[in-house]
Chain A
Amino acid sequence: MIHSKRVRLSALAGSVLITIAACSTASSRGGPSSAPLSGTITIDGSSTVYPITLAVAEDFQKANTGVKVTVAFAGTGGGFKKFCNGETDMNDASRPIKADDAGEGVACKAKKIDNLELGIATDALSVVVNKDNDWAKCLTKDQLKKIWDQGSTVSTWSDIDPKFAVQPIKLFGPGADSGTFDYFTEAINGKAKQSRSDYTQSEDDNALVTGVAGDTYALGYFGFAYLEENLDKIKAVEIDGGAGCVAPSAETVNGGTYKPLARPLFIYPSKSALKRPEFAAFVQFYLDNVNTYVDETGYIEAQPPVLAKAKADFAAGLK
């Protein structure tokens, strides 16, 4: 009898302890602003912006262990479709949202997903070739259009310029869900999404890098960071937008000479999601440190007025 009473007592004491412990965690979670943040943040969108957001997310999670940030790369358009369907908190974008597009602006309006457009960096959309390519040092905008336009008949390098190798050209580029695709086709072919379709398409830029790196006669295009990271395997083609050959770099982009492929990069946080403290803190952290991550990932810092505007818009959006 005595023995079993003792057991019961100790069991009782144990459960009290557990209850106290549970109470204390509960109170610390629901506490005021000093409490650690928790929750899940879902981000999708551009594969071009992906490396920046991923780097931000990693460091943010280290500082806030209670918050889980998932970053995916469905492409700008693919991401907006999810974003405007209320599935994600933020969309990475390598072009502005299309107000008239059924899957983007129209859907966001219909679902009442208000959002902020925050410019965070600049990209030099790069046309790249294999490192063994010693003939295509510079291509004009017209030559690029000849290669990539809808109905293009270019099948060998010599079709572009008789001086080039008489070898089949292997093309690699992003697919139709990609903002890079939209931007490139609009800047080069004159109309967004107007492009030839018989090339290797992937929303995964690393697959494109692999493709170009493994094929002497390859040509592809994607964001600057993927070039910077793989300079041992691929190299950039200079672009002649009408005023001579210009290589993609921070200087040429900021100097305004890398035309027409320099482009702004954005993040689109949802306004309603900003009401969640962990998400507001994340975007604040993003904007406060963005240049560190932009440098680290190989992109080009946004001009100071662009960042100042982003910070002001964000502050206004929190209210």
Chain B
Amino acid sequence: MTAASRPLTRRQPISERVIETFLFLAAALGVVTTVGIIIVLVVQAADFFAQVNPIDFLTGTVWSASIEPFRFGVIPLVVGTLSVSIIALVVAVPLGLLAAIYLAEYATIRTRNLVKPILETIAGIPTIVLGFFGLNFVTPHLLKPIFGSALGTFNTLAGGLVVGLLITPLIASLSEDALRAVPRGLREGSLAMGATKFEMVRRVIFPAALSGVMASIILALSRAIGETMVVVLAVGTSPKLTLNPLESTQTMTAFIAQISAGDTPQGSIQFKSLFAVALVLFGLTLLLNLVSNRIVARYRNIY
């Protein structure tokens, strides 16, 4: 016994320490990267804000980064981003939730095993393909017949619809997990009380899964806000302040893509403005994540 356990105890600290170090490094890598990104963003953005008043930046309504006189009012880009995201949510929340409820409560196991992977495939389509789909199919063949000549070649609506399509599987899949995580006892209890299946879903299952459902929606919103290729192609690169979804706008991500792909010299004001815009984008998604955490914590029912 002692002979066998001695080498074990002697070896354990070394191998264990190696493994622990590896595990720690793996975990730390993500944290270090995030901290690094934040530092780079803040440092470069600080440089930008030395030249442009932050108040003007946050409240300005004209964005002209490459054509003089340079104006850096981020509102048009933020409005562009939010327009696309809101349209996307209008599409994705009902579709995603209905799909989730169907998959979790109504579908047979066979249907579920068939439908769910197909639904998730949509999320796997490269977004540039979806962008092309928006520009060359959704706009000319779906929207043009409805809106006629008021619709631009590049427009917020097509971008929003396609991004909505893109995030629907995200909401469906995560919400379905949340719905299915509701304990069996609750289902059986409500059915035993004489509730119909739909009443059970509406009154018992859905409220019980609400925190998970809300989290999935906010996660999808973050994804929509960060989406780039679809909006570059379908929404265009016209940084003007408008709420009309039939016109072309520019989102924060599309601006970053446009300037990064061009030949903006390092150190120029345009180059620095990238970091300021990225900081706004980062702040927005961080805020959403915090809200999502709050919601999960607040509405969480522990069984």
Contacts and interface: CB of A to CB of B under 8 A. Distances in A.
Q: Name the residue in A170, A177, A202 with the highest tally of chain B Cβ atoms < 10 Å from its Cβ.
A: A170
Interface residues of A, number: 35
A213 B153 contact: yes
Contacts of B64: 197-198
Contact of B67 (A168, A176, A216): A176
B96 interface: no
A195 B265 contact: no
B62 to A, nearest CB: 8
Contact of A201 (B139, B149, B151, B237): B237
Contacts of B63: 197
A75 interface: yes
Nearest to A44: B263
B265 A103 contact: yes
Contacts of A78: 262-263
A195 B66 CA distance: 10
B251 interface: no
B263 A177 contact: yes
Q: Name the residue in A167, A175, A218 with the highest tally of chain B Cβ atoms < 10 Å from its Cβ.
A: A175
Nearest to A218: B153
Contacts of A42: none
Interface string B235-259: 0111110000001100000000010
Contacts of B247: 168, 170
A175 B153 contact: no
A199 interface: yes
B68 A194 contact: yes
A39 interface: no
B131 to A, nearest CB: 12
Contacts of B67: 175-176, 193, 195-197, 201
Dominant secondary structure of chain A at its interface with chain B = loop
Q: Name the residue in B62, B151, B152, B240 with the highest tally of chain A Cβ atoms < 10 Å from its Cβ.
A: B152
B7 interface: no
B262 A175 contact: yes
Nearest to B238: A200
B135 A210 contact: yes
Given A150-B69, A176-B67, A211-B154, A198 B239 contact: yes
A217 B135 CA distance: 18
Q: Name the residue in B66, B139, B262, B265 with the highest tally of chain A Cβ atoms < 10 Å from its Cβ.
A: B262
A197 B153 CA distance: 18
B54 interface: no
Contact of B149 (A103, A212, A216): A216
Nearest to B149: A216
A95 interface: no
Given A150-B69, A170-B248, A175-B66, A81 B263 contact: yes
A78 B260 CA distance: 12
B263 A75 contact: yes
B263 A200 contact: no
B243 to A, nearest CB: 14
Interface of A: 74-75, 77-79, 81-82, 103, 150, 167-168, 170, 175-177, 193-203, 210-218
Interface of B: 62-64, 66-69, 71, 135, 139-140, 144, 149, 151-154, 236-240, 247-248, 258, 262-263, 265
**3 cross-chain pairs, A with B, having the tightest CB-CB distances, nearest first:** A214-B153, A78-B263, A197-B64
Given A176-B67, A214-B153, 5 more contacts: A77-B263, A175-B66, A198-B240, A213-B153, A217-B149
